[in-house]
Amino acid sequence: MSRTSRNRLCRSLRGAAVLSAGGAFRAWGLALNRNQTAARRTVARAAPLRIATRADLMETSVQPARALRGSPTAPGDKSISHRAAILSSIAEGTAVIENFQNGADCRATLSCLRLLGVPWRWLEADTVEISGVGLAGLSEPPNVLDCRNSGTTMRMLAGLLAAQPFLSVLSGDASLRSRPMGRVIEPLRRMGADIRARDHNSLAPPVICGGSLVGIEYDMPVASAQVKSSLLLAGLYARGETTVREPSPSRDHTELMLQAMGADITSTNGVATIRRQQRGLKPLSLRVPGDISAAAFWLVAGAAHPEAQITLSSVGVNPRRTGILDALRAMGADIDIRNERLSGPEPVADIDVHSSTLTGTRIGGDMIPRLIDEIPLIALAASQAHGETVIQDAAELRVKESDRIRTTVRELRRLGVDITELPDGLSIKGPTRLRGGRVSSHGDHRLAMMLGVAALLARESTTISNSQAVSVSYPRFWEDLKALSGP
């Protein structure tokens, strides 16, 4: 990269890091005795939360927090936002999606849809209007579709594009190009799709020569909402009936949204059946619930910090996503769920969390798909809990944006956590007083945010490298952390 373009990139990153402005971003220091029953607290020197930028990386230093109080607004749910964008694109008419998650992943989905000929525009910062082109209205993209870091974009679009009468190629960043795609390509090929990909059809970029498909019955080897959704999208177009059976039920946002839009779909206990769509899909305007996977960072911060009271409003509480609430409650967390209601087809509620004395627990089996994205965070909570926590049946974590079993172990160990890697999970013994220091996100958004929460609980300052990764799903994360912990 030339010096001028490096400087330009550096300047724009600095501009994006609102937090760097003159050290205005403050988190007050506190040294904590982690024995929660007899917490001896000494107020440490207040220091600014520092953001430094290099040409390609940003690092964030976070001071321990004296107290955590406030009501952060979780961004719109990432999974629901992807689905709202994709399904609205093939509906008959216009839908307005409020509280659309505007992180990099969902923006990647919107950019791909534009290349497929779908008109959409922002009405406000987080409200997008999508003019559906109907089931047969997509057009051949003039370029490779760049899914960036987003597995949901690539896998769901693969299913939709397998049924379109044109050629498309889906690609993404280095992380996405190393993640398994055979899990969608193989069943889509069984439906008659013409798809080729690297490494014996297992790695992106997939090249899709779309065409007519036939419905299949498919027993999924692993529970995956992305794979299920991909096959259901293909099933909308396939002759006959498509049935997908999961080993454990995963999130069902696609099924709920398709039902609300008039698709011929049934779904019970991990078995979903869809029939070819004869009539157009009705457009569905909705307000996307707050993302429980983002709210989870503040739930763990609130439960594990000895001086905390946090309220989260309008968070999605679809039972296929609330494993984190069950796990934290099983650990003794003081969590109240109030004011349950519906937002479109999805349940939402307000959630309060207070400082709690946590104890270890066991997590595995059917619970795993209900909290798959929250496991690094549960490992952090477990490090503050009395006794041992064992998480099993979670080998899927190895093929996320990073190998989250390995990266969680590596980074929490650096903070002093007694944590062991299992082939399909983690074992953690607590409580441990986190020591602070230098850690890395490995470019994984959920690792960056988990380490940000760990930093609030630590004895000394923690510097998280590659901290800009949060922009994938929670661009305001560092500002919200500041607001919760600042005086």
For residues 28 and 477, which CB has a smaller minimum distance to ligand S3P in the complex? 477
Q: Is 79 in the site for ligand S3P (CB under 6 A)?
A: yes
Applying CB under 6 A, among 333, 372, 378, 469 the residue interacting with ligand S3P is 372
Q: Is 463 in the site for ligand S3P (CB under 6 A)?
A: no
For residues 229 and 356, which CB has a smaller minimum distance to ligand S3P in the complex? 229
Q: Is 225 in the site for ligand S3P (CB under 6 A)?
A: yes
Part of the chain binding ligand S3P (CB under 6 A), chosen from 48-56, 128-136, 221-229, 451-459: 221-229
Q: Is 291 in the site for ligand S3P (CB under 6 A)?
A: no
Applying CB under 6 A, among 101, 224, 277, 465 the residue interacting with ligand S3P is 224
For residues 430 and 475, which CB has a smaller minimum distance to ligand S3P in the complex? 475
Least distance to ligand S3P, CB of residue 142, Å: 27
For residues 9 and 271, which CB has a smaller minimum distance to ligand S3P in the complex? 271
For residues 350 and 396, which CB has a smaller minimum distance to ligand S3P in the complex? 396
Applying CB under 6 A, among 63, 81, 164, 226 the residue interacting with ligand S3P is 226
Residue whose pair of structure tokens reads 């996320």 in the numeric block: 400
Q: Is 109 in the site for ligand S3P (CB under 6 A)?
A: no
What residues act catalytically? 373
Q: Is 152 in the site for ligand S3P (CB under 6 A)?
A: yes
For residues 226 and 463, which CB has a smaller minimum distance to ligand S3P in the complex? 226
Least distance to ligand S3P, CB of residue 453, Å: 18
Part of the chain binding ligand S3P (CB under 6 A), chosen from 1-9, 219-227, 300-308, 330-338: 219-227
x/- track of binding to ligand S3P for residues 374-403 (CB under 6 A): ----------------------x-------
| Burial class of residue 142 (count of CB atoms within 10 Å of its CB; 0-12, 13-18, 19+) | exposed
Interface residues toward ligand S3P, by CB under 6 A: 79, 82, 152, 224-226, 229, 250-251, 372-373, 396
